[in-house]
Each structure stands twice: as structure tokens, then as C-alpha cells.
Structure 1
Amino acid sequence: MELKELKVLYADDEIEIRNMVKDCLKCKVKEFYTAKDGLEAFSIYKEKKPDVILLDIHMPNSDGIEVAKKIRQNDHSTRIIMITAFSDTKNLLAASELKLTKYIVKPFTINDVLNSLELALQETLNFKTTNKKNIYLADDFIWDVEVESLFKGSCEVGLTPKERKILQILFSNVNATVSYDTLLIEVWDDFENHSIDTLKTMMKNIRRKLPTNTILNIYATGYKIIL
């Protein structure tokens, strides 16, 4: 994974700084989003699932710390960089338990931002963190790890026993490819009597119950869930 593969969200209520950062970084990363306040930042986070979020502490409609706290209720994988001022000692203490990647102090340079993104990238590559209870997907879908069930909002999505087993395996190996053979052996007791075509047919049914592009087919290898 490289910097150009990251999805980045930058939230700041100062339009000049927001536009300056956008103009400098939009060509260096895969996708770049901006938000003018905390409410918009959290909405974009839920919809776009960025890899890295840069949050200014002082924003209307939920400040940066409030947004980070809401994210950390269920997500310890997304990298968060907090933008602060020298006078923000009290706020920094409040943010000390939010597992932030870095603080950037205003006024900052684009190199400060780039260095912070590089640090966030290395953390993403070197450390894997998953939620023990819920995995949040697009379109308000949730995989509950403890009960091995899929939900759309508060409504459970109907799954057959084999569909549930396949999802349990895939969600236990997020961002890793699970081979066709592994799925056949784990899901079917009489796996020798079933083929990859059987698996592919079932996977089509599973995909209809999930947000688009949740499960990727890795050609001639297996399947992968990307978060």
C-alpha cells in the first residue's frame, strides 16, 4: 500500500486552509474529501470510510475531539490526526485516550501534513486492529462478530447456515484473501462432492445481501472483504 492508495478526509472550518490542503494533496492520494464542520466530517466518515482523517480541534457542530470520540466508539482502525494550536493543552489531555496517530500544530506546512500521512500509512501497514463486537460496512450494514449475524440498521438480514459460516470466515480475515479450497473445506462437510461453482453460486446470493463491492473475487484464488 502506498500514499496514493489512501482515502483521506480533512475537516477544518477555515475555508482558505481547507482549500489549500485540498489543492496540494488531491493528486497525491486516491480520494480526498473535505468537511467544513464536525457534523459533515462524521457524515462523510460513515459514507466514504476514509483510511485517514485529519480533524481540526476547533470546529462548529461537534469539534474535532467529539468527532474522534464518536469514531472510536466502534472503530480503532481508521487513523486520526488532530490539528491543534499551542494553547490547546486542555483539549490535548482530553484526546489522550483516542489513539491518535499525530498532532499537527497550526500554522503548519504541507510537508507537515505529508509526513503525518506517511506515519498513518506505516501504522496501517504494520498494525491491524479490528473491533471485537461489530464490523461496520457501507449503507448502515453491520456484521456482529459475537453473534455472527448481519444487520441492516437494527434489522437482522436472513442468512442460511452456510452463508453465515462463509461470512464468519471472511470477516475473521478482513483485508486478507481466503482461498476457494479453505472455504469449501470449512463450510461443507462433504467438500469433496462440491466444486468451486457451488461456492460461486452461494457467493452470488451472499453478495445480494451486502453493500456493493463488500466482497472481492480474487481471480483464480478466492475471496476478500475490504474495509
Structure 2
Amino acid sequence: MPKPIKILLAEDEPSLGQIIKESLETRNFEVLLCEDGEKAYKTYKSENPLLLVLDIMMPKKDGFTLAEEIRKEDQDIPIIFLTAKSLTEDVVKGFNLGGNDYLKKPFSMEELIVRINALLKRNKNENNTEPIQLGKFIFDLKKQTLQINTHIENLTHREANLLHYLAKNKNQVLERSFILKKLWGDDDFFNARSMDVFITKLRKKLKKDPAIQIINVRGYGYKLIY
């Protein structure tokens, strides 16, 4: 049997939380059940789950606030909101804060499981680390290489990951604070200067294809275009 998929469930109704936990655990999920938003945030930081199921109305920290804080650190982890609310503005707010799906109570466990599996599959596809065509280059994140014709350029771990995020968001601005927190752990001044150095290094390694550019969007971030 494959290793259980780790999910964080934040639900303050003990009976409902236990039902969801037990149902998911029969489907090869490892469920980290938290009864309030503060505990859920600490668990997210320490346990690195692959998906979050968040009730909106929770003590100490509600699901919207929790999702907003997590999205500042992680743009990729799938988030499903659970709520008894049915107002359109609440649904819109949930998606605007970075939610990927929204399930209204009461719901069937089968529906929740289908939605979880769909989001995990989509996230896996979006975070595929297979070699990709980058202009005239072949970029291999696993091997940390850039190849053009027979020439292979080796990348450092941080260069490879920085290029991965730029390529994943090609033709879109990649926010400085997001990438700094993701790769450097903090968006302070010294890390920002370090990132600028890595951008310069990547530009030099990509110059064999003049069609590829990393553009500085002043005060916001960088954009890879080709």
C-alpha cells in the first residue's frame, strides 16, 4: 500500500471532525485534525501537509484568516473551505483569498473525497518536475541543468528552483516577497539583494537564446518571457 497522503483538517465541531477524519483514513489519508485556527497554523508549519480542509467559522482564528496567512507563504498547497454559509459574497471571498474549492454543509463524504483527489491530481500535474522546453533550452529541475544543443549548463540548487518558479509563471510577474519567502525564508533587504544576484546569474546562463528575458518589474518582482 502506498504511503498515506497527509491532510490537515481544521474543524471545531468535534463530532464532524472525527467523522471526516475516520472516513478519510479508510481511504489512505493521514489526517491531522485541529479544533481551532491557531493550532491548525502551527500544525501546517510543523507537519507539511499536502492539502488543507478548513472550516470557516473557528475559534481563535477563522478559516479565511488562516488561508490568507498560509497563502503568503505557499501559493501552491490546495485549500478546500467547509462552511455552513451560503451567501455568494462568502464564496467569492473564499476564492479571492486563495481557496481552490468550497463545500457547503451538509455534504457527503464521497463528494469531499472526490474533490480532494481532483485537487491533489491537479496540483501534482502543475508541479511536475519533468524536463521542459524553455525557448531553445531544455531545463531539467531534477538534474539542475540547462541544455542548448550539446552545451549543458549546470545550475545551483537555488538557481534551479528560482528558474522553476519563473518558468512556472512565464509571462506573469512573480512577486518578490513570495519567492524570497519560498526560497530564502525571509523577504528582508539582504535576501532581496541576494536574489538580484541570482537573477543576474540566470540571465547570463540564458543569454544563448536572445528571445528569453527576465524582466524586472520595479517594486513588484520579475517576469520570464519567451
User: SS of 2:179's equivalent?
Assistant: coil
In the alignment, what sits opposite 2:157? Answer: none
In the alignment, what sits opposite 1:14? Answer: 13
In the alignment, what sits opposite 1:49? Answer: 48
1:3–1:88 Cα change, 3 Å = farther
Measured after TM superposition, the shift of residue 147 of structure 1 is 4.8
Measured after TM superposition, the shift of residue 75 of structure 1 is 0.9
Structure 1 residues 141-174: Cα deviation after superposition (integer angstroms, max 9, x where no partner): 827775558xxxxxxxxxxxxxx9xxx99xxxxx
Structure 1 residues 84-115: Cα deviation after superposition (integer angstroms, max 9, x where no partner): 22434332232232232211110011101101
Tell me if the contact between 1:12 and 1:56 (Cα under 8 Å) persists in the aligned partners: yes
In the alignment, what sits opposite 2:130? Answer: none
Distance in structure 1 (CA, Å) of the matches to 2:124 and 2:95: 23
Q: Does 1:133 align with 2:176?
A: no
User: SS of 1:74's equivalent?
Assistant: coil
Distance in structure 2 (CA, Å) of the matches to 1:3 and 1:84: 31
In the alignment, what sits opposite 1:38? Answer: 37
In the alignment, what sits opposite 1:77? Answer: 76
Tell me if the contact between 2:67 and 2:98 (Cα under 8 Å) persists in the aligned partners: no
1:111–1:148 Cα change, 3 Å = farther
1:40–1:88 Cα change, 3 Å = farther
Measured after TM superposition, the shift of residue 70 of structure 1 is 0.4
In the alignment, what sits opposite 1:159? Answer: none
In the alignment, what sits opposite 1:60? Answer: 59
Letter in 1 for 2:80: I
Query: Which residues in structure 2 correspond to 1:173-184 (within 5 Å)?
Result: none
Matched pairs, number: 148
Measured after TM superposition, the shift of residue 77 of structure 1 is 1.3
Measured after TM superposition, the shift of residue 3 of structure 1 is 8.6
Distance in structure 1 (CA, Å) of the matches to 2:21 and 2:29: 12
Measured after TM superposition, the shift of residue 116 of structure 1 is 1.3
In the alignment, what sits opposite 2:89? Answer: 90
1:70–1:28 Cα change, 3 Å = same
Tell me if the contact between 2:86 and 2:104 (Cα under 8 Å) persists in the aligned partners: no
Letter in 2 for 1:133: L
In the alignment, what sits opposite 1:203? Answer: none
Distance in structure 2 (CA, Å) of the matches to 1:99 and 1:127: 16
Distance in structure 2 (CA, Å) of the matches to 1:20 and 1:103: 19
User: SS of 2:39's equivalent?
Assistant: helix
1:122–1:3 Cα change, 3 Å = farther
- Percent of pairs identical after alignment? 27
Tell me if the contact between 1:55 and 1:80 (Cα under 8 Å) persists in the aligned partners: yes
Letter in 2 for 1:121: L
Letter in 1 for 2:106: P
Tell me if the contact between 1:14 and 1:36 (Cα under 8 Å) persists in the aligned partners: yes
Letter in 2 for 1:108: F
Distance in structure 2 (CA, Å) of the matches to 1:3 and 1:146: 40
Distance in structure 1 (CA, Å) of the matches to 2:77 and 2:194: 23
In the alignment, what sits opposite 1:104? Answer: 103
Measured after TM superposition, the shift of residue 135 of structure 1 is 2.0
TM-score, normalised with respect to structure 1: 0.57
Unaligned stretches of 5+ residues in structure 1 = 150-163, 170-185, 187-227
Task: Choose which of 142, 145, 152 in structure 1 pairs with 2:185.
Answer: 142
Tell me if the contact between 1:38 and 1:59 (Cα under 8 Å) persists in the aligned partners: yes
